């Protein structure tokens, strides 16, 4: 779990650094670029949220399976 958290922090920091560099070096207008970056950022966070929700559901199902009493014959 610690490795996953570290990875996500790395992705977030890398995204922030990359977007800052893109804003400074972009040939497009600032307003258009900010809109595109905002859209990509929202899409990224929606994907992360969706993946986290799916993982949470999977882990809850596994926990419920482990909590069920075992019937030994």
User: In three state form, how does the secondary structure of 2-68 look?
Assistant: HHHHHHHHHHHHHHHHHHHHHHHHCCCCHHHHHHHHHHHHHHHHHHHHHHHHHHHHHHHHHHHHHHC
Q: Who wins on pLDDT, 33 or 8?
A: 8
Name the one residue in this structure whose structure tokens are 């990224």.
44
Q: How far apart are CA 60 and CA 49, in angstroms?
A: 16
Domain hosting residue 53, numbered range: 27-65
The answer to whether residue 16 sits within a structural domain is: no
Task: Kindly indicate the confidence band of residue 61, based on its pLDDT and cuts at 50, 70 and 90.
Answer: very high
Distance (Å, rounded) from C-alpha 20 to C-alpha 28? 14
Domains contained in the chain, number: 1
| Any domain includes 53 | yes
pLDDT of residue 51: 92
Q: Is residue 52 part of a domain?
A: yes
- Asked if the structure places residue 40 within a domain, the reply is yes
């Amino acid at each position: 779990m610690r490795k996953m958290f570290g990875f996500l922090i790395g992705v977030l920091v890398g995204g922030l650094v990359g977007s800052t560099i893109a804003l400074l070096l972009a040939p497009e207008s600032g307003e258009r670029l900010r809109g595109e970056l905002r859209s990509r950022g929202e899409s990224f966070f929606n994907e992360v949220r969706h993946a986290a929700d799916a993982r949470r559901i999977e882990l809850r199902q596994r926990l419920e399976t482990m909590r069920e009493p075992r019937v030994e014959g």
